[in-house]
Amino acid sequence: MRVLLVNPKNGCISSGGDFVNQPTGLMHLAGAIADEHDVMVCDCNLGEEFGVLADAFLPDIVGVSCWMGNFSHTEEILKLAKIRRLKIVAGGPFASVAPELYLELGVDCVITGEATEAFRDLLSANKHIFPEKIIYSNNRGGLLPPSYHLFRMGDYLSPAKSGLYAGRKGGVIFASIGCNHRCVFCSGGYLGKWRSRDVEIEVKFLKNNGADLIWFGDASFSFNRDHSITVADIMRKNEIEWFAEVRVDEVDINMLKLFADSGCISLWFGIESRIDAELRRMRKGLRWLDVERGIQLISDCGIRPVGFVLIGLPGQTRQSIEETVRWVEEQSFPISPNTLIPIPGTAIWNEAAKNNMVPNIVELARMVSDFYYQQSRGPIVNLSDANNGVLKEAVARINNHNQELCRG
């Protein structure tokens, strides 16, 4: 079958510190089907036009990667596909939590969760009429190696133009998929329980094709100590620097020393709030002492810490936000502010929707998509006890502090 995989335009055009956004999900999906099917990729973030490629390729099936941040452009692509009477399969994070929405938009089939095996099986059935409108993935399979040859890797591995890794050519790899944590604001569990992956082939490929830095995009690189150390050893043998996102309560001094020796230059982690009571409400399983300890250990090992705080959570007040911002302004490492987006399917969304505190899913998705396109840093939905002005000021102060760190 002729399969056109589509990455709609996402207003958030970078990932991993201003690298060009790499559609890793589609890369792995292509790896699962390219040996049996004729596959073409349309990455709209690189300026490719869906209509032009669809008319030239004449696909039997269109597979679309669906995120909240690309919802507005996805709507346009779905309209173009239906005009051409193309069969459409949707997957990805947002399709997984709101499958009925995409069926209403004209999609023929939605695959939830980790879609690789389910999509391959669907194509193997060689049917243009799908017996199931929603396929619920069992999330037990792993990701097959990506089909890099189908993608414009030269564009993805171009030097970052700004940010912490300016000038570096960064490749993205997932050393694991899934997440066992259940933070109330995060939809990371949609891929199921944590599973490890072998990454050595991907590391070698990216290095041989010009990458000088690898970003491990795992939900938590540190979740399984033995696996993270194994991956670090692969990086050491291949002599390429890297960074990843960890939980500060999952790292220890010996692990971090091995990371540093293997070329780890920075570790990202969610701080979220300076207030212990707010951390408890998030169900992160963290105490403030864990955060302080983790930051100190990372710094002591010569690895640059990079943190994130979350503004606009239920129960946050003007005073608690001020305490978090003041703490951030005292730090000598970058900490990025994120304003809360209540994602459908999360505990925060469920509670807010029950109390009519959030818009309907379509309106929210369009707001989020526009938020990314405009690169606004104000709140999309404010569930805190502080007003929008307080949230905007908090974000501005943290961003100003980061700019001062860069200048210093």
Structure tokens, 112: 């939830």
C-alpha span between 263 and 255 (Å, rounded)? 13
Q: Measured between alpha carbons, how far is 91 from 4 in angstroms, rounded to an integer?
A: 14
Phi and psi dihedrals of 54, rounded to 5?
-65, -40
Q: Is the confidence at residue 11, as pLDDT, over 80?
A: no
Model confidence over 23-47: pLDDT tens digits?
A: 999 999 999 999 999 999 999 999 9
Say if residues 316 and 278 touch (Cβ distance below 8 Å).
yes
Q: Please check the confidence at residue 13 and state whether its pLDDT lies above 50.
A: no
pLDDT at 377 over 80: no
pLDDT of 58 > 80? The answer is yes
**E strand or H helix at 348:** helix 347-354
For residue 79, how many other CB atoms are within 10 A of its CB? 12
**pLDDT tier for residue 189 given thresholds of 50, 70 and 90:** confident
Tens-digit pLDDT profile for residues 335-360: 999 999 999 989 999 999 999 999 99
Domain definitions of the chain by residue range: 2-136, 157-407
Q: Looking at this protein, which amino acid is placed at residue 281?
A: R
Contact 278, 287 (CB under 8 A): no
Question: Which pLDDT value is given to residue 139?
Answer: 63
Q: Which pLDDT band holds residue 325 (cuts at 50, 70, 90)?
A: very high
**pLDDT value, residue 16:** 46
Q: Which amino acid is at 238?
A: N
Average pLDDT for residues 134-142, to the nearest whole number?
74
Whether 15 shows a pLDDT value over 50: the answer reads: no
CB 2 within 8 A of CB 58: yes
Q: Report if pTM > 0.75.
A: yes
SS3 180: coil
| Amino acid at the residue 65 | S
Q: What is the pLDDT of residue 152?
A: 96
Distance CA 310, CA 376 (A): 15
Say what percent of the chain tops pLDDT 90.
Answer: 78
Query: Residue 14 above 50 pLDDT?
Result: no
At residue 268, the pLDDT reads: 97
Instruction: Assess contact for 258 and 231: CB atoms under 8 A.
Output: no
Among residues 233, 173, 231, 257, the alpha carbon closest in space to that of 207 is found at 173
Answer yes or no: same fold for 2-136 and 157-407.
Answer: no
Mean model confidence pLDDT for the chain = 92
Half-sphere exposure of 220 (CA within 13 A, CB side): 22
Asked whether the predicted pLDDT for residue 126 surpasses 70, the reply is no
Confirm if 193 and 138 have CB atoms less than 8 A apart. Answer: no
Give me the pLDDT at residue 12, please. Answer: 53
The token pair at 216 is 């491990």
**8 Å CB contact between 391 and 320:** no
Q: Which fold has domain 157-407?
A: TIM Barrel (3.20.20)
Q: How far apart are CA 240 and CA 268, in angstroms?
A: 18
Residue 280, pLDDT above cutoff 90: yes
Q: 213-216 and 241-245: which strand pairing? A: parallel
CATH 3.40.50.280 fits 2-136, yes or no: yes
